[in-house]
């Protein structure tokens, strides 16, 4: 009981430390966060050995599994978003430990219009010997989206995520080819 009283007293004291700006930030956003999506043509990458485009020729692949975002804005301050992007990256040769650099981008656009900003990130994906797949989550702590006026809401913007592809990877994705694992 004594612990509960002390905990309640601590909470009351901490609540008194909140600034006016902090209380304003805790109020509801004027509208929803920007729409966030994985760009379909950049949602995966597949690398092949040679010119063969079959499952047997795949050397590495990756896909974006999920994107979770949160945002905060109020009054006339810019939208500040944070994002967690879940990836899975695989390889066929697991005989040695290896680090594979994987690039992805985050782009902010005006809804159905032009790109405002694009940032490319590189992640060193580390495979241990004998490991074929690595799944991980990358955290982006702050994406700042300027607003022209206090009444400009998040629905006026979109955030697109995708792999930064080579020309060959992009052409393969656009081809619509779906690789099937051989039946045993």
User: Residue 101 sits in a domain of what CATH number?
Assistant: 2.60.40
Q: Is the pLDDT of residue 109 over 70?
A: yes
Q: How confident is the model at residue 5 (pLDDT cuts 50, 70, 90)?
A: very low
What tens digit of pLDDT does each residue of 129-171 get?
999 999 999 999 999 998 888 888 888 999 999 999 999 999 9
Q: How confident is the model at residue 7 (pLDDT cuts 50, 70, 90)?
A: very low
Question: Is the model more confident about 25 or about 56?
Answer: 56
Residue 142 belongs to domain spanning: 29-175
Q: What is the overall mean pLDDT for the chain?
A: 83
Tally of structural domains, the chain: 1
Which whole-number Å values give the CA distances from 50 to 47, 77, 145, 176, in the listed order?
A: 9, 51, 42, 20
Q: ∠ CA(33), CA(38), CA(44), 5° rounding?
A: 160
What tens digit of pLDDT does each residue of 84-106 get?
999 999 999 888 999 999 999 99
- Kind plus residue range of the DSSP H or E element containing 118: strand 115-127
Is the four-CA dihedral 157, 159, 164, 167 of positive or negative sign? negative
How far, in Å, CA of 147 to CA of 53, rounded? 45
How far, in Å, CA of 3 to CA of 9, rounded? 10
> Is residue 180 a part of any domain in this protein?
no
**What's the rounded mean pLDDT across residues 20-35?**
60
Question: Is the model more confident about 164 or about 175?
Answer: 164
> Is residue 2 a part of any domain in this protein?
no
Q: How confident is the model at residue 23 (pLDDT cuts 50, 70, 90)?
A: very low
> Is residue 136 a part of any domain in this protein?
yes
> Is residue 46 a part of any domain in this protein?
yes
> Is residue 23 a part of any domain in this protein?
no
| The pLDDT of residue 151 | 84
How far, in Å, CA of 85 to CA of 31, rounded? 23
**In this structure, what token pair is assigned to residue 104?**
């992805």
> Is residue 61 a part of any domain in this protein?
yes
């Amino acid at each position: 009981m004594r612990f509960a009283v002390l905990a309640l007293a601590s909470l009351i004291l901490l609540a008194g430390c909140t600034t006016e700006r902090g209380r304003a930030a805790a109020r509801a956003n004027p509208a929803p966060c920007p729409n966030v999506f994985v760009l379909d043509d950049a949602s995966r990458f597949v690398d092949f050995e040679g010119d063969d485009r079959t499952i047997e020729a795949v050397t590495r692949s990756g896909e974006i599994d999920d994107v979770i975002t949160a945002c905060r804005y109020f009054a006339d301050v810019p939208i500040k978003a944070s994002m967690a992007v879940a990836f899975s990256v695989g390889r066929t040769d697991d005989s040695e430990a290896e680090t594979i650099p994987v690039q992805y981008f985050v782009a902010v656009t005006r809804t159905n219009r032009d790109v405002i900003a694009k940032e490319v990130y590189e992640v060193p994906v580390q495979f241990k010997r004998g490991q074929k797949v690595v799944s991980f989550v990358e955290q982006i702590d702050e994406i700042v989206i300027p607003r022209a006026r206090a009444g400009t809401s998040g629905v006026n913007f979109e955030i697109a995520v995708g792999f930064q592809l080579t020309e060959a990877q992009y052409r393969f994705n656009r081809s619509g080819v779906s690789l099937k694992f051989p039946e045993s």
